[in-house]
């Protein structure tokens, strides 16, 4: 089945930028509804951003709108999350996820049936 591998996490100061990468194998990125989620210790996993099948629409959580951008590179079969103006509140483990279904809300975790292992993002003040 489709495999997802995140990379690009690290430690940055507040106001800095990071670009997360999700390498997709076992299927073409344009055939999946793709999302980025994050989870801090002791908290629930929350939706960060998503892109619809074929890349026609994008969605963002209120706390990251205007700062983060989700995109995909069909030629490289890769999903990206560009994160700018990072805040300490953005500190979390970030995961990419995929589903071939087009039903349900983009931020609904059980909708996604393929997940990566996660990449840690730490933002210091």
Q: Which residue has the higher pLDDT, 52 or 101?
A: 52
- pLDDT value of residue 102: 73
Structure tokens at 74: 């069909």
pLDDT tens by residue, 109-119: 999 999 999 99
pLDDT tens by residue, 19-46: 999 999 999 999 999 999 999 999 999 9
Model confidence band, residue 103 (pLDDT cutoffs 50, 70, 90): confident
- pLDDT value of residue 66: 97
- Beta carbons of 40 and 118 less than 8 angstroms apart: no
């Amino acid at each position: 089945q489709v495999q997802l591998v995140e990379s690009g996490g690290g430690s940055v100061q507040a106001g800095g930028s990071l670009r997360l990468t999700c390498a997709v194998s076992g299927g073409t990125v344009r055939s999946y509804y793709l999302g980025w989620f994050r989870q801090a210790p002791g908290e629930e996993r929350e939706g960060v951003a998503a892109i619809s099948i074929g890349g026609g629409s994008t969605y963002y959580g209120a706390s990251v709108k205007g700062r983060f951008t989700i995109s995909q590179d069909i030629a490289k079969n890769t999903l990206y999350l560009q994160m700018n103006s990072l805040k300490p509140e953005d500190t979390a483990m970030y995961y990419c996820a995929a589903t071939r279904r087009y039903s349900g809300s983009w931020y609904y975790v059980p909708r996604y049936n393929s997940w990566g292992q996660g990449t840690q993002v730490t933002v210091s003040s």
